[in-house]
C-alpha cells in the first residue's frame, strides 16, 4: 500500500493572517450625490419657487358678499406662475447638471 499522509485537521483555518494592529484606520469619506454648483442651483430654484408662492398670497376679501378685483391682477395671474415654472426648470437643470472634471491627463505637457 502507498503511504498517504493525512492532515491533522480537516477544518479550514479561518483565523486572520494580519493582526488588527496592522490594519490602517481610515477616516470615512463622504461622497455627496452632487457637487457644490448643483446645490447652488438648487437653492436658486427653491428661492424662485418660494417667491412665486409668496406672490400668490392675498387678494381675498373678508366679506364674502363683496367681490375684490385684486384677485385677478397680473401679479397673481402672470408673474407668480412664471416664477414657479422657472423654479421647476432650474431644479431640473440643477439635478441634470454634470460638473466639469479637471483631468490631469487631458492637459498638454510642455
- The answer to whether residue 98 scores a pLDDT higher than 80 is yes
Unique residue bearing C-alpha cell 442651483:
41
- The answer to whether residue 97 scores a pLDDT higher than 70 is yes
Instruction: Please provide the size of the chain in residues.
Output: 110
Mean pLDDT on 13-39:
72
pLDDT at 41: 95
pLDDT at 82: 97
Label residue 87 exposed, middle or buried (CB < 10 Å: 0-12, 13-18, 19+): buried
Alpha carbons 56 and 72: distance in angstroms, whole number: 11
Q: Are 105 and 69 in contact (CB under 8 A)?
A: no
Give, as one character, the DSSP assignment of residue 38: H
Alpha carbons 33 and 39: distance in angstroms, whole number: 10
Mean pLDDT on 67-85:
90
- Predicted confidence band of residue 110 (pLDDT cuts 50, 70, 90): low
Q: Could you give the 3-state DSSP secondary structure of residue 54?
A: helix
Amino acid at each position: 500500500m502507498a503511504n498517504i499522509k493525512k492532515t491533522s485537521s480537516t477544518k479550514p483555518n479561518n483565523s486572520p493572517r494580519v493582526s488588527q494592529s496592522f490594519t490602517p484606520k481610515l477616516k470615512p469619506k463622504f461622497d455627496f450625490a452632487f457637487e457644490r454648483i448643483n446645490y447652488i442651483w438648487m437653492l436658486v430654484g427653491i428661492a424662485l419657487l418660494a417667491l412665486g408662492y409668496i406672490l400668490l398670497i392675498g387678494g381675498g376679501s373678508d366679506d364674502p358678499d363683496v367681490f375684490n378685483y385684486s384677485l385677478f391682477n397680473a401679479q397673481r395671474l402672470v408673474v407668480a406662475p412664471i416664477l414657479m415654472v422657472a423654479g421647476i426648470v432650474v431644479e431640473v437643470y440643477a439635478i441634470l447638471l454634470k460638473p466639469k472634471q479637471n483631468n490631469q491627463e487631458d492637459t498638454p505637457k510642455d
